[in-house]
Amino acid sequence: MLSGSCLCNGIQYEIDGDLGQAMICHCGKCRKSNGSAFAVNAAIKVDEFRLLKGQALVGEFESTPGVFRTFCKNCGSPLYSRRPSMPDIYRLRIGTLDTDVQVKPVAHIFMGSKASWDGAHDDIPQYDERP
Ligand SMILES: [Zn+2]
Ligand SMILES: [Zn+2]
């Protein structure tokens, strides 16, 4: 069981399952929504995700047609993105996990749109978009 929460702790969730492969996304939208160089995201199964607290605080923004980014309306923490076209998965922002998971991201994606000041200094594969 994995658990996580937003910055203000108003939203708490559990995941009764494992994370999919974690990827480090450098796209301009992840950059803006996180206020940082990149986001580290991993797919989870919707039916394994359980919101324990804070349903009323969950906001959504459609950042691209068909892509909804979910966040806490109180503190702004990004939680996951979802696509109605892929109803079985969420892409969790794994920085919101409280469980100390052992994750090794498998790739840097959207390196073609990374900020010029963003350096990826490791040896995992890099892709200009989503492979
Ligand atoms: Zn919050
Ligand atoms: Zn992204």
How open is the CA angle 72-119-18, to the nearest 5 degrees? 45
48 SS3 class: helix
Task: Kindly state the average pLDDT of the residues 118-124.
Answer: 83
Q: Distance, CA 72 to ligand 1 centroid (Å)? A: 5
Q: Is the pLDDT of residue 121 over 80?
A: no
To which residue do tokens 């594969």 refer? 125
For residue 50, report the distance from its CA to the centre of ligand 2, in Å: 23
Which band of pLDDT confidence, cut at 50, 70 and 90, is reported for residue 131? confident
Which pLDDT value is given to residue 42?
98
In tens, the pLDDT along 55-75 reads 999 999 999 999 999 999 999
Q: Any idea which ligand is nearest the CA of 56?
A: 1
Per-residue confidence (pLDDT) for residue 98, from 0 to 100: 98
Block residue for tokens 């108003």: 10
Ligand sitting nearest the alpha carbon of 9:
1
Residue 23: per-residue pLDDT: 96
Per-residue pLDDT reduced to its tens digit, 18-42: 999 999 999 999 999 999 999 999 9
Find the ligand nearest to 10 CA: 1
Q: Which domains does the chain have, with CATH numbers?
A: 2-22+40-98 (2.170.150.70)
H-run or E-run covering 30: helix 28-34
The residues, any chain, with a CB within 8 Å of residue 81's CB and separated by 6 or more, are 41, 63, 67, 68, 69, 70, 90, 91
For residues 123 and 131, what is the distance between their CA atoms, to the nearest angstrom? 17
